Amino acid sequence: MKSLHWLVFLLILLTMATIVSYERYMNETIMVDISSGHSLDIGSDAKSNNGSSSAELLDQGDSIELHCALRSHQYPYPYCDIGMSLGAAPLGINLSQFSSVTLDLSIDGPKDPFIRVYLIQSVPVRSSKPQYLHDKYNQIEFKPNFYDNKVEVPLSLFRPAQWWLEQTNTDLLNSGSELTNIIAVRVSTGQGAVDGDYVIRINSIAFNGKLISRANLYLCIILAWAVAGALITYFSFQSAKKQLNASHSKAMQLQQVNDALQLQTKSFQQASQRDALTGLFNRAALRDRLPDWMNRVNENQDRLSLVLFDIDHFKSVNDGHGHDIGDEVLVHLAKIVSQSLRHQDLLVRWGGEEFAVFCPQTDVKHAEMMAEKVRKAIESSEWPAELNITASFGVSEYYAWEDIGKFVKRADQALYQSKANGRNTVSVSGLDQLNKA
């Protein structure tokens, strides 16, 4: 047993030494500057959009200097840029294990101009669109003067350019940034650049990362401890091997009983999460799902929206046609709404004639569009007893770390606003705050 104690002690020392070494020494840097040997190319609206701007690359010895003359009389959004190749498509460099980029650059021009930095990812060719639309443009935009022309920027701040998302018609789930297969970095004049003369000066661009990702390092440490734990467990239980063998038959019987009880418990749990009339999930089904969705927003800047809706004047349906017809309306509504939703949306019978749709990975604007689609589907459907059925909707988005009650309350307030506006409409709560953010 003393040898096992020594093994644990050595593993503790090795773990501490590895973590300290990782933070101090296991660094990797990719440098892009005048002496790094990366090929350069310049561009402007004159090349790509028949504009009249011009760009000229000058050798300044220890820096890359681009002189631009922006003119908007032939193209309303003039620009010029310089690109530095990091690899040949389709295989560029993988920056996913890098944490930041240090930008030592400046821009001189009218009105303290902005500068854009693109990280261009090569993506598989799926159509006959121009090549620049096959390459994914991840960007940041800022004023270098604000940071004394040198700033270290987390790579997590790079996002796909809005113009690229619009021109490629990229859907929500594919609109995140990706830093694999980066084939070039481009530096460009920024948004709203006015006519005039500009000078972009690049001293260096340095990508900062680690030789091994933090996740892989921790995985190796965990595996080492797992092997040690397996050895300790093996030797600890050797002395009890005879007793375990003698009780093996009894243990197998007990395991079979436990398995049966577990399956039965799952069946009861699933039944308790379903509404008996419509077959939809009820509020109990949210106990396991909602915390996970909220954590994704809190920890990973994901999105989560809620659509509450109920049937307009449903009491008159029950009073005038009976509860059987009312039940048929509820069942039919559950069916047509389910057909209008995406696979990740969760439709819940909230209570009575009120329903809720939880929409993970969805912001409030797209949730509003989905609610409008459902509203039209309800309005245009054929209903039992030739009824004209409509519904009123309220939409809200969950803000990171907020109380879940406030999230639901905003959707409920929006629902009441729809009723106050004459019903059969969609109202949104919190949209103004989201736009300001």
**230-267 per-position pLDDT tens digit:** 877 877 777 667 666 645 543 443 343 233 333 344 44
Which residues lie across from 352 on neighbouring strands?
Answer: none
Q: Examine the domain organization and report whether 289 and 265 are in the same domain.
A: no
- State what percent of residues in the chain have pLDDT above 90: 53
CA atoms of 60 and 42, how far apart (whole Å): 16
pLDDT of 125 reads 57
Among candidate residues 221, 227, 245, 239, the one with its CA nearest the CA of residue 1: 239
How many domains does the chain divide into?
3
Residue 12 lies in a domain: no
- Domain boundary (191, 210, 229) is at 210
- 426 and 345 belong to one structural domain: yes
| Residue 227, in any domain of the structure | no
Q: Is residue 188 part of a domain?
A: yes
Domain end (from 169, 192, 210): 210
Beta bridge partners of 202: 64, 105
Are both 169 and 250 inside the same structural domain? no
Q: Do both 69 and 137 map to the same domain?
A: yes
* Per-residue confidence (pLDDT) for residue 250, from 0 to 100: 38
Predicted confidence (pLDDT) per residue in 40-90, tens digit: 999 999 988 899 999 999 876 788 999 999 999 899 999 999 999 988 766
pLDDT at residue 253, rounded to an integer: 33
* 289/148 same-domain check: no
Residue 166 maps to a domain: yes
Q: Are residues 263 and 180 both part of a single domain?
A: no
Residue 39: give its domain's CATH number: 2.60.120.430
In a domain, 228, yes or no: no
User: Given the structure tokens 């996970």, which residue do they identify?
Assistant: 292
Give the end of a domain, one of 251, 272, 293: 272
Q: Is residue 219 part of a domain?
A: no
For residue 337, tell me if it sits in a domain. Answer: yes
Domain match, 61 and 137 both? yes
Q: Please give the average per-residue pLDDT across 379-386, as a whole number.
A: 94
Q: Give the domain extent around 425.
A: 283-436
The answer to whether residues 376 and 317 belong to one domain is yes
Residues 264 and 288 in one domain: no
Is the confidence at residue 196, as pLDDT, over 50? yes
Angle at 296 between CA 98 and CA 138, to 5 degrees: 40
- The answer to whether residues 287 and 420 belong to one domain is yes
Q: Quick: pLDDT tens for 77-132.
A: 999 999 999 887 667 888 888 989 999 999 999 988 999 999 999 876 555 555 55
190 and 48 within one domain: yes
Query: In sequence order, what are the beta bridge partners of 351?
Result: 354
Is residue 419 located within the same domain as residue 365? yes
Residue matched to tokens 């050595």? 10
- Asked whether residue 248 is assigned to any structural domain, the reply reads yes
